[in-house]
Structure formats: structure tokens, C-alpha cells
Structure 1
Amino acid sequence: MTNSDIVVQVDAPKQTESGGSDENPDLQVVGVATELRLLSVDDANETFVVALLIHAHYEDPESFDGDHASPDVFKRNSEYDGFIPEFTMVNCVDTQFDSFQVTVRTNQRTGEIWSSHYNTCTISESLELEKFPFDRQLFRVVFKSPNSALKQWEIDVGILDFLPDFKNGKRVENTSQYLVSCELKSWTMADFKVGQFKEDVDPASLTGGEMEITIMAERSPLYFFINFVLVMYLIVATNFANVSVSPSDSADRLATTITLLLTLVAFKFVLADAIPKVGYLTYMDKYVLTSYFFLMISIVENVAVTPRFLCYLDKNGFCNELETAEFEGDATDTDFYFQIIFLVAWTFENIIVAIFSFKPQILQESWKKVQEGQIGETESSVKRTSVVEDLDLKKEQLLQ
């Protein structure tokens, strides 16, 4: 994982012990809420993109004017920059933050100030892809705050104006409020977990408190089954058409099979953009290699099951045309049985793949094993990985 820190906003007011700030001791941070969406996953480069919308709520007596008719006012000038908390995305390698995506809303009737900013981050994460495309992944987003705002994240997300296209969100209520969702049709969010680590937190320190949101997502293999597996099945199964060509016409039969093999090789280049580039074989890699293996067997059969070759084996030497013709019937029968066995075996393998595609939980590992394989058990990761270990037993059993 790349640990390049990217600061996504300007300084927030330093809070005093009473909850106010150095600039305005009466300023109270009511709370902060986070909206997080998983937008895309790049398996080839082991990165994923998240959209982050952070809301902050303050009570500022200096903004109160006692006029109950005063409307809400939207401010985006430097005077209100201090109301936008500063956050560091620890594992973010690229950010698309723009200043115009910051909104500050003041209510002079109540002295309340609402601020929010939207940011899109690309995060590098080591993914365990051996079971691809039947895998489960942990997508971790790690935050740091240079002030004590993390201790007061108790805002009710139900009263916030979230993005209108927010779908399938999950909500958790503890000492903080969050809405997290997966916006990808090829992934399903099983759950998410929030961990706050406040050991040795100094409000004046730039390291501050650390928080991690872990999205627990399962890949939907149906996309790969329909767009890749089914296509490759049809390409290899087309080789059965050789049954209509006489075994003596080995050149034509070889031309058909080799053409199908080259078609698979070309399709592999298309598939390369959709599968991860890792130093080990994934389940998808093994399936592709199996398809090559089936066609290679067919090439050997096209050479071996010919009247001339059968005659050579029977006579222990070369045969003339008259002798070769005697084995025409044997070659045809042998080829017919081979093609039947070939098609049945290839179809059976793809039926197994189809079952796994519709019931991926058969192959999926438990979340504990996913954690151990993806993050490991090193001393530096114990604190962060505890976010998965804290899942209650009942939920763990339901997700397995």
C-alpha cells in the first residue's frame, strides 16, 4: 500500500478543552458526518476510487442575529474556511478535489453553520485475487484529523442533504454517523465497519486521531460469466463442427481448430484489460488455460485419428492408398466418439463454472481469511485489521 498523505482541505479551528476554538471560544463543533461511495475498482492496477462527502455542523453564537426571518446564506469565501475540517487521506494516491466543491451554509436565526466538501480519491490497496472472479475484498479508506473533531462525530445523518444519486447505502450508529455504499453493479457490499483509533491523540498534533472505514464487498461473477466464460465456451464448442468433415481431410480439420485457437488468443488480449496482472494464477487464468488445453487435444486428435495414421499403427509401416481406405470407417467412428466426449467434457466444466457463478459463496473465503490474506498479521497492521475481527459472531456466520 502506498502511504502518501494527501491533504484534502484547509486548517480547521483548533479546539479548546471546552469544545470551542482558539479564534472563537464559543464555537461548538456539534458533529461531523461522512458519506462514502465506492465508485470503481481497477483490478489490473490494484486501485479503487471512492467519492467522499464530509459534512460538519457548528454552533456559532457570533452568527446569531436574532432575526427569525433571516434566510440561510451560502458562503464560499476565506472567512469561512476555518469551518471546514482538515482531513488527511493516508492511503490516497490521487485526489480530484476542487475548491468549488466546498459549501458553507450559515443560519443566522440559530447561529448554526453547516459545511461540506466533496472529494474523489484513488486509493492503492493490495488485493488478494487468487479466487478472482469469485473473491471478496476489503476496501480500506484511512483518515487522519489534526484536531479533536473525530471525538465528536455524533451528528444525525438523517437531517443532512446527501447526494441525490446515493443508492443502496448502509448506516451505522455508534459514536459517529456514516453512510457508505457501493455504486458498482459488479460488486455487492456485504457490510462495512468503522474503526476509530484515538490512542495518544494530541489535539494540537498534525498526526491527530486516525479513523478507518472498511468496505466489505463481494464481486459478482455473473458479469465475467456472461461476457467472457460464455463466449469462450462457444468458441471451443464450435470445434465439434469437425465431426462433419471426413477424418481423411486432416488439413481442413486442422485449419478449423487452429483458427479457433487463434481466436481464443485474440480474445485473451481483450480479456487482459479486465483481469488482474498478478504473479500467480487466478481462477480466470486457469479457465483460459483449460480452454487452450482442450483445443490442443483436438489438434492432436485431428492428426492421430486419420485413416493413414491408423493404418500405419496397424501395419507397423506406411500404407498405400488401397490399404489406407480400409481404415476410413474406423477413423470416422473413432472421431465421432472423440467429438462427443470432447463436447460433453467441455460442457461439464462450464456447467461447474456456471454453478460457481450463480452461487459464488461456495468458493468464497470467510472474512477472517480474507483479512489474513489481503492485509496480513504484521505488527503495524494489527490496529487497523482489528476492524474486521470485531465483527460479531452472528454477522460473520450470515456472511460466510
Structure 2
Amino acid sequence: MSNTIRSDSYSESVRRGIHPLTTTPIAANRRSATTGNVNRTSAYFPTTSNLSSNSRSATLSAIVTPAHSYQRLSNQQINMETKTKKINTLPKAKPPREVSLRVKFIRLGEVNTLHEKFYAEVVIEARWLYDPEAASWNPNLYVKNALGDIKQEVAHELVNNLDEPVFVGDKLHGIIYVWEIRKLVGTFWEKLELNSFPADVQQLSLQIVARCPIEECVLVENRFQPSMVNREAFLAQQEWFLYEHIETRSTITTEDFSFRPIRQSTYLVTCCVARRPGYFYWNVYLLIFLITLIALTVYGVAPEHPQSRLQITCTLLLTSIMFRWSVSRLLPPVSYLTLLDKYTLVSLVFISLNSIWHSVIGFLIRHMGISKIIDYYVLSIFTAFFIIYHFLMALFLFQALRSRQVMLESDRQYASKLAGMFETFVQGHHAVQRFQERQNSSRTSLFV
């Protein structure tokens, strides 16, 4: 029996020639690893019978992975083709319905500048194609800028392209429309632009909105029957001038206060009015002009008596302040200065500067012995300032009134548009002639 010395170290086993890597050829190991016979014994791949079940399944899965990947890709391709076929077989979405609108301002009442609202009686004519499959469909129109509860009357009727009534029971061929007439009476809100007050031009608008989403309904203008306004029934003719043209615009608004935000079609109809500035010329501008002019007459008092000068100028200053407050109550508390505000504030500053100078000249004459001639120079400076700023205010007022000429030109174009819709040339010519007569008669009252 040989005395064999055993060692667990790698170097000892290699030296004695008993380690598997030194006894098994490397080429044989590589061949066994690359051949498909898994039962061959090798140093790198033991016998499959000795492998555990988990190792065997991992080895087999690594071998068959490409087949499973190919099968998975083919299944995905089949699923995509199936989905594409389903999408192609689905019914296509219908385009949104067009609801043509025509608005008639039957009567316009008071335009309240302080509370920014106006009274109106309006008729809204809506028209859309009749669909027998959805006979009860309705755009559910409403006026978004209405204040409080407004009176409303709604009527429906089926008509053909000639606006003649038809009945569903009759076998009629052709296009059938649903004609909805909605009459509204109430007060509506409008944001007023008062930068050029009292020579301002205001737009009185109605915001007509459909309750259904934009994908279902679109509000458009009636191309055959335009909107109109009844100037004869304007109840505020003493204060405002009503133009004849109507401006329309279609837009999209978002209803954010619902469970899901809805994009809705909105139709804006606007009529324009211009304030008659004659009242403010005689009762505001003229009075402030006289008060400011009197401030220059105080220089007739000798500068040795500043108490007399200050008494007069302070009285004029307090009068101007109280007058300004009485005028401000006619306007809402806006964060900008109107044309009238600028004029009254400059006048107050002018009177205040004169009052300051009267106190200064009295002090200089008494304690420093300055000549009185300086008072005449200051009077000349204030007089030149008075003339210049009144000239600038008149220029600003003239520029504000030029916008009214633009509105009159829009009226003329609108009258020509209406004349082109009449059946005969004579009717259109008479309509334009009547408009020109009304325009010439109201031109003086519009600017004065």
C-alpha cells in the first residue's frame, strides 16, 4: 500500500498530476461543449444526470430561446393586424353640424355706463339640417353674458330651402332644415372701454354659446340673411348714437367648471353705439375751463396781499375737486384715466401751482424785497402753459372723434352689402339712398 500524501491545495494537486484540468485535454473539453450530446462527460459540462432540475431547465431554455422569441414576434404581428382590421371596420366619426345664426336686435334700451350693462330685446334665429335619425337633437343655445333671469320664448319649425314649412309625415324630397326662433328679453353685461370718455364708442355684444362640444356642433354666420339692428326702437337716442352695421365672429371657449373641460363653439354678435358728447361739452368741459381761467385773474390782486390771492385760489381748487367727484360718479371705478379725467386733473394741478406761487411771492416781497416784476413773468409762463395744454386736450379729443368716421364708413359698406341682397336694383338703390339721408341728418349730432 503506497503512502500517498493528500493535499487540498491547487498547486499540490497539479504537481502530483491529479487535477482534472491537467488530466483532461482542452480540445476534448471544447468539443464536448459545442456538440449537442449533453450526456458526454467533460470538465466544463458535467453529466446531465448529475445536474439539478433548475439547472437543466435553465440550460434548455437557453437553447430554445430563439424559437420562443420568433413565436412571440409572430403573435404580436398577428395581434397588430387584428387590431388594424377592427379599426378599419369601426364607423368613422361624423363631422360637426353647422348651425347658422342670425341675430336681430329688436329693441335696445338704456346703456348703463356705471354698472357696465345694457337692456335689449333680441331674436336669435338658428338653422341646421334635419336628421331623421336624431330628430330631437338641439344645440341648446344660451347667452353667456346675460345677467340674472331673462325672459325667453323658443319655437321650432321644419322648413325647406325656401323657408316654407314642411311636415315630416309628407314624402318630400330635398333638404329640410330645423328653424329655431328664440326671443330673449333682459339685461346683458358688457365690458366698456372708457379711455376716450366722453367721446367713446362702445360695442354691445351677445355671446351665444352651444352647450354641446365643438366636435358635435359649430356656430356659423347665416350667409343669406345677415344680422340687423332696429335703429328706430333705440330707447337711448338722447345719450347714444346707434350704428347700423353688425359685427360677427365665431370662436371657441372652454368650459372649465364642469367635470371634464369642454370646448364649446361661441358666436359673438356686436352692435356699436357712440356716446353723444354734447352734454359733457357744455356741462363739464366749459365749467372746468372757466374755473381754470379765473385762476389767472387772481394776479390782479397785489402780491403784497397773498392772503387774498390764496383765499380765491383755494376756493377755486375746492370747487374743482367737488366738481370732479360729481363727474366721477358717472363712471365705474376703472384703473386708468379717461380723457375727461386727464383734463380735470391737469386743471387741478394748474390751480394748485398758482396757489403755491401766491404764497411764495408774498414771502419773497416781505422778507427779501424782490421786485414785483417777477410776478408778471410768472403770469406769462402760466398763461402759455394754459394755452398749450388746452390745445393738446383739444387735439386728443379730435383724435378720439376720428373713430366715429371709421364707424360711419363701416355703416356705408354694410348698407351696400344689404343692398346686394335685394331682388331688384331699384330696391337696393333706395335702401342705400335712405341710409345716406339718415347718415347726413345724424352727422351733426354724432360729433356735437
Name the TM-score class by shorter chain.
0.5 to 0.7
**Which of 123, 136, 139 lines up with 1:53 in the alignment?**
123
Matched, 1:246 2:313: no
Matches of 1:199 and 1:248, distance apart in 2: 70
Matching residue's letter, 1:165: E
Aligned to 1:117: 183
Q: Which range moved further: 277-286 or 251-260?
A: 277-286
Aligned with residue 232 of structure 2, among 165, 176, 186: 165
One of 203, 208, 216 as aligned partner of 1:143: 208
The gaps in structure 1 that reach 5 residues or longer are: 1-16, 18-29, 59-81, 168-180, 201-205, 315-326, 368-400
The CA distance in 2 between the partners of 1:33 and 1:45, in whole Å, is 28
Counterpart of 1:257? Answer: 313
Distance in 1 (CA, whole Å) between partners of 2:188 and 2:195 is 23
1:97 paired to 2:163 = no
**In 1, Cα distance between the equivalents of 2:309 and 2:251?**
67
Q: By how many angstroms is 1:195 displaced? A: 2.3
Q: Which of 355, 358, 361 is 1:302 aligned to?
A: 358
Give the 4+ runs in structure 1 shifted more than 6 A: 102-105
| Secondary structure, counterpart of 2:368 in structure 1 | helix
Please tell me whether the aligned partners of residues 39 and 184 of structure 1 are also in contact (alpha carbons under 8 angstroms): no
Q: May I ask how many residue pairs the two structures share in their alignment? A: 276
Structure 2 residue aligned with 1:75: none
Structural mapping, 1:196-215, within 5 Å: 196=250, 209-215=265-271
- Conservation of the 8 A alpha-carbon contact between 1:43 and 1:276: yes
Q: Which residue of 2 aligns with 1:349?
A: 389
What TM-score do the two structures reach when normalised by structure 1? 0.52
| Structure 1 residues 198 and 280, CA gap change in structure 2 (3 angstroms) | closer
Structure-to-structure mapping, 1:332-343, within 5 angstroms: 333-343=373-383
Equivalent residue for 2:324, pick from 268, 289, 302: 268
- Aligned-pair CA distance for 1:268: 1.3
Question: For structure 2, which runs of at least 5 residues remain unmatched after alignment?
Answer: 1-93, 129-135, 158-163, 167-178, 255-261, 408-448
Partner of 2:13: none
Greater Cα radius of gyration, structure 1 or 2: 2
- The 8 Å contact of residues 38 and 50 in structure 1, kept in 2 or not, is answered as yes
- The residue correspondences of 1:1-400 to structure 2 (distance < 5 A) are 33-36=102-105, 39-54=109-124, 87-97=141-151, 117-125=183-191, 127-133=192-198, 138-145=203-210, 153=222, 156=225, 165-166=232-233, 185-186=239-240, 189=243, 192-196=246-250, 209-215=265-271, 223-306=279-362, 309-314=364-369, 330-331=371-372, 333-360=373-400
Cα displacement (A) at 1:217: 5.7
Matched letter for residue 388 of structure 2: F
Q: CA, structure 1 residues 292+280, in 2 after alignment: closer, same or farther (shift >3 Å)? A: same
1:266 deviates by 0.9
Aligned partners of 1:133 and 1:219 also within 8 Å: yes
* Paired amino acid for 1:53: V
SS in 2 for 1:290: helix
CA distance in 2 between partners of 1:151 and 1:286 (Å): 42
Distance 1:183 1:52, change over 3 A: farther
User: Bigger relative contact order, structure 1 or 2, given CA contacts below 8 A and separation 6+?
Assistant: 1
Q: Residues 222 and 358 of structure 1 are in contact (CA less than 8 Å); yes or no, is this contact kept in structure 2?
A: no
Aligned-residue CA RMSD (Å) = 5.0
Percent identical: 21
The answer to whether the Cα contact below 8 Å between 2:252 and 2:263 also exists between their aligned partners in 1 is no
> 1:341 is matched by which residue type in structure 2?
I
- Secondary structure of 1:213's aligned partner: strand
Provide the secondary structure at the position in 2 that maps to 1:165.
helix
SS of corresponding position for 1:53:
strand
Q: Deviation of residue 349 (structure 1)?
A: 1.4
Superposed CA deviations along residues 193-232 of structure 1, whole A, max 9, x for unmatched, are 21245999xxxxx997531113456666555444322221
Determine the structure 2 residue equivalent to 1:74: none
* Preserved CA contact (<8 Å) 1:146 1:207: no
**Cα pair distance change 1:190/1:303, threshold 3 Å:** farther
AA partner of residue 356 (structure 1): F
Inter-partner Cα distance in structure 1 for 2:251 and 2:295? 59
Give the drift of 1:48: 4.2
State the one-letter code of the partner of 1:291: S
Q: Give 1:257 deviation, angstroms.
A: 0.7
Q: Please state which structure has a larger fraction of its residues in helix.
A: 2
**In the TM superposition, what whole-angstrom CA distance separates every residue of 1:251-303 from its partner, at most 9, and x where no partner exists?**
22211111111101110121112234123334433322211111111111221
Distance 2:352 2:393 in 1: 21
2:84 corresponding residue in structure 1: none
CA-to-aligned-CA distance 1:363-384 (integer Å, 9 cap, x gap)? 99x99xxxxxxxxxxxxxxxxx
Q: Which moved more, 1:336-345 or 1:350-359?
A: 336-345
Equivalent-residue separation in structure 1 for 2:375 and 2:324 (angstroms): 29
